Chains A and B, each alone.
Chain A
Amino acid sequence: MIACRRYGGKPLNPRKIRGVFPALFLVLFLCGSLFLGPPPGATADSREPSLQLASLLSNSSPPQDAKIRVLAQALALVEDQYVEKKPLKDLVYGSIQGAVSILDSHSSFMTPEEYRELQIETKGKFSGIGIEITLKDRTLTVVSPIEGTPAYRMGLQAGDQIVKINGTPTKNISLTEAVKLIRGPQGTKVILTINREGFAHPKDFVITRATIPIRSVKARIVDGGIGYIKLANFQDQTDRDLQNYLKQMGKRLKPFNGLILDLRNDPGGLLEQAVRVADEFLKSGLIVYTEGRTPQQSMRFYAHPRGKVEIPVPLVVLINEGSASASEIVAGALKDQKRAFLIGTKSFGKGSVQTIIPLEDGSALRLTTALYYTPSGITIQDKGILPDEVVKEPEIPAGKSLAKVREENLKKHMLKKGLTDKPWSEPISEAELKQDPQLQRAVELIRNWPPRKLAQKTK
């Protein structure tokens, strides 16, 4: 899943080559044909009538073309003299890969195969095990297991390092390659070898693949007219599902005294959905703005008052270091507008927007095209959103090994169901609250609204 994807990149008209690199594909011919006239293959350039071979030959090309001609020369030299004949396509992809690698770490180049994989993944339904993965410090790492999926039930956790997939080491693996290996037909098994802080040795997890529905919203209620909504990520259906739950809660909870929005371990998703979700809780004002190099990439998003479910004032948002991107937009907007009280730990800190730009041969670029800012003009990049009140996740009891605790939790997960696996209308029990100090604190705050800190801030 791409964090904060924008559907901004429309395919280039293949006939229209613009900008500062217009001359490369002609220059290659020039290497061979400077004085000889066009080689046999040059008939191809008749398809590009707007480019003037003559102007290049007469050396009057603008100076900015000079560098691109260097690359054309290099490609020709490698094609001609490298010890092994390499397919030109490989050289071209190597060159584009190199150009992208001078950009930021969220920008990348995808081969047609990798891009196809990505498209399948973003369609909404797929067969897999249900984990979000990333390359953290170049290691394949679990961002978060999606609740209710096989990976989640088997006890995979945020931060787990995937050392091997079906026995194949993941060293140097690309994300798309990894995804391809992990996914597969429903009912088949995949073995992930997991390295986890606290494991003496990497451990094998055998996980049966299933159809992973992309349900990003789950809910429960808490005694005292409090609603609890957890967002797993931001995709096409997120805001619609959220509205549904809010409507049902509005009917069921009389009075509706408060709402807890749980964004913990939500890695983000679509920018547009982040804006809609924030809009549910805001009547007006700025939600987020983006700034890029072009006017199209610089946008401002506002909240509107129309057609909304009445949501009570007390709103608490839970965040942690797994809350990234779109989650941070929502948390940031609600915090800046003083609409919500934030509890948990500092968020991840990803403040950039990526656009997927398909290239004409089926490959694609993923480019960071804008940075986003919370309404008060703060960038989230590398800083993250700070909670109003820091509440840490439960610590491991002294004298108990981490592995032991995990094993116990794992068993518990298998026997009982997780917090959001139960029907939404079933109230969260005191016992469940005790296991989640962040949630417990949120409930406490709503019951004693307003919190002193928020009250002081609003004065």
Chain B
Amino acid sequence: MKLFSIGIFPTRRGFFLYRALPFLLVLFLAVSGAQPVLAASAQDYESLRLITEAFNEISQKFVWKKSEEEIVYGSLRGLMNSLDPDSSFLTPQEYKKVLSGQKAPAAEAGLDLIYKDNLLTVVSVMDNGPAWRAGLRPGDHILKVDGHLVRNLTTQEATRRFQGKPGTSFKLQVLRNGLVKPLNLTLTLEPLAPGQVTSKIIKDSYAYIRIPYFTPETPGELLSALKNLKLHHPPLKGLVLDLRNNARGTLELAVRAASPFLGNREVVTTKGRPPEPNQVYKGRGRDELSNFHLPMVVLVDGGTARGAEILAGALRDQFGAVLLGSKTVGLCGVTKILPLRDGSALMMTVAQCYTPKGQKIPGKGLKPEVEGKKPKAVAGVTPPAKLPPDNDPWVIQALEILQHKKTQKLAKKVVKP
């Protein structure tokens, strides 16, 4: 078994995780060597007979003829979808592409999606990216793409659907909570703008740092931003780190981004199915900032996933940061590619992320200690763009916590599992 550490697909930059693939780490099974030995019980036997029966009925009685390949590939998608959104199925063509090393897409939509329960849901939308400007918002359900009903997809296939040449456009039918009729939106792909880390001083001695999404440059940008802030005069009294709407960070990038705060302490642990050993990921000691112990609030929301969840969990467990906002997505795992006999392949979650204090991230996500104040919902109106930090209600809420030195008290509320 070949093991590429975290960056899977070698590119011009070398070893970085091709960022549009929404999984963290792929243990690459190069040879189809691991033929599992299955202890088939009578129950297994019954179950498989059921599939055979169902497929026979479909292939004989459904009004339109479906090929065996269509039926079986449909069922493979269904099988992987029933596991988790990071598990998916690769057709032989798709798997070949993966093997030959994919290039980052020339253009994309700037959004992260999840296909679950036959519903394609927008998890996060990049600030002012193409999807944002098209009017898509987190929580929207995409019903149709170019007139075709969204059905039998995997999360990854849906993601790839919105990658391609710059200028490619899609007509989307979108359902939004509170609206009676679906919206018709036009989405045009664009090259991804650099996801730069930005920082801002608020109220003289508080810093606001925004990571819009993770790129290979993010850890370095974050480190230099923090170094600059350390030199700020008057000295900083607190820090707000904004990880909202940030869903595609890799494990490696999250670990490096945590290093300035945690040094060589643990950032995240991945646990596989026993007897697979747990993997502990620690930060880089040489990136640690000396004498940097600021009270910190991390903003998270329903668009915070993967690397951003790892970073938020580590800062909470190891740096005394307080999480503010709403529950995170809960999508953080290690996937492995398993080739199948006909040249197709499964991409399957084989390990899950746990915070340093042992809280499992996938599934339930992280629940912030402080609930963000709910904005007044205006039904039928597209939510406005992100407000500048000074006017952002959650940033204001975070500053209040920092100004009243409540972080320690709130951080204690975190219960050890």
The answer to whether A306 has its CB under 8 Å from any CB of chain B is no
B379 touches A71 (CB 8 A): no
Give Cα A97–Cα B53 distance, bound, in whole angstroms.
13
Compute how far the CA of A81 lies from the CA of B180 in the bound complex, rounded to whole angstroms: 43
Quick one: which of A308-334 are within 8 Å of B by CB? none
| Contact status B43-A88, CB under 8 Å | yes
Residue-wise, chain B 34-70 has the 8 Å CB interface mask toward A (1 for contact) of: 1111111111111111111111111111111110111
Which residues of chain A are within 8 angstroms of B42 by Cβ–Cβ distance? 41, 44
B-contact 0/1 string along A84-123, CB 8 Å cutoff: 1110111111111111111111010100000000000000
Knowing A76-B36, A94-B82, A195-B178, the reply to whether A17 touches B76 (Cβ < 8 A) is no
Residue of B78, B149, B180, B181 touching A97 (CB-CB under 8 A): B78
A69 and B38 in contact, given A74-B76, A89-B47 (Cβ under 8 angstroms)? no
A109 to B55: give the CA distance in the assembly, Å. 12
Distance from B181 Cβ to chain A, minimum over Cβ atoms (Å) = 8
Task: Determine the distance from Cα of A456 to Cα of B191 in the docked complex, in whole angstroms.
Answer: 63
Q: Which residues of B contact A70 (CB under 8 A)?
A: 72, 76, 340-342, 344
* Stretch in B241-249, B321-329, B348-356 touching the partner: B348-356
Instruction: Give the docked Cα–Cα distance between A368 and B64 (Å).
Output: 9
Do B48 and A361 touch across chains, with their CB atoms under 8 A apart? Answer: no
**Are B58 and A365 in touch, CB under 8 angstroms?**
yes
Are A67 and B63 neighbours in the complex by a CB distance under 8 Å? no
| Cα(A139)–Cα(B36), bound, Å | 42
Contacts from B to A (Cβ < 8 Å) = 34-66, 68-83, 87, 116-119, 141, 143, 149, 151-152, 173, 175, 177-178, 180-182, 272-273, 333, 336, 338, 340-342, 344, 346, 348-352, 379
Binary contact readout A319-361 vs B (1 if CB under 8 angstroms, 0 otherwise): 0000000000000000000000000000000001001010111
Q: Are A107 and B62 in contact (CB under 8 A)?
A: yes
- Which residues of chain A are near B73, meaning CB under 8 Å? 67
Q: Which B residues touch A200, using CB under 8 A?
A: 379
Say which residue of B41, B60, B81 sits within 8 Å of A94 (CB atoms). B81
A168-215, CB < 8 A from B = 171-172, 195-197, 200-202
Q: Chain B residue with minimal CB distance to A89?
A: B47
Partner of B76, one of A34, A95, A107, A359: A95
A78-B348, A90-B82 given; A39·B37 CB < 8 A: yes
CB-defined interface of A361-382 with B at 8 Å, one 1/0 digit per residue?
1010101111100000000000
| Complex contact A99–B54 (CB within 8 A) | yes
Flag the segment in A239-247, A269-277, A292-300, A434-442 that touches B. Answer: A292-300
Residue ID in chain B nearest A160 by CB atoms: B180
Query: What is the bound-complex CA distance between A266 and B379, given in angstroms?
Result: 32
- Judge whether A403 is part of the interface by a CB distance below 8 angstroms: no
Please classify the interface of chain B as helix (H, G, I), strand (E, B), loop, or mixed, using the class held by over half of its residues.
mixed
Within the assembled complex, what's the spacing in Å between the Cα atoms of A363 and B57? 13
14 pairs, CB–CB < 8 Å, chain A vs chain B: A17-B53, A32-B38, A41-B40, A44-B41, A71-B76, A77-B36, A77-B340, A83-B349, A98-B74, A98-B82, A105-B151, A138-B118, A172-B117, A368-B63
Tell whether, in the assembled complex, residue B35 and residue A21 are in contact, meaning their CB atoms are under 8 Å apart. no
A64 within 8 A of B: yes
Are the C-beta atoms of B48 and A75 separated by less than 8 Å?
yes
- Taking CB atoms, residues of chain A closer than 8 Å to B69 are 67
Q: Judge whether A405 is part of the interface by a CB distance below 8 angstroms.
A: no
A25 within 8 A of B: yes
CB of A42 within 8 A of CB of B40, answer yes
Q: At the interface, yes or no: A22 with Cβ under 8 Å from chain B?
A: yes
List chain B residues, Cβ under 8 A from A84: 273
The 6 closest A-B pairs by CB, nearest first: A98-B78, A94-B82, A80-B36, A25-B48, A102-B74, A41-B40
Tell me which residues across on chain A come within 8 A of B79, comparing CB atoms.
71, 74-75, 78, 91, 94-95, 98
Residues of B contacting A94 in the complex (Cβ-Cβ under 8 angstroms): 78-79, 81-83
CA distance A139 to B65 in the complex (A): 29
Q: How far is the CB of A368 from chain B (nearest CB, A)?
A: 5
Nearest chain A residue, comparing its CB with the CB of B32: A73
Which residues of B are found within 8 Å of A39, using beta-carbon distances? 37-40
* Nearest residue, chain B, Cβ from A106: B63
Docked pose: A102 CA to B55 CA in angstroms: 12
Determine if B151 and A81 form an interchain contact, defined as CB atoms under 8 angstroms apart. Answer: no
- Known contacts being A101-B151, A359-B53, is A20 close to B35, with CB within 8 Å? no
Complex-state Cα separation, A280 to B212, whole angstroms: 68
Q: How far apart are B147's CB and chain A's nearest CB, in angstroms? A: 12
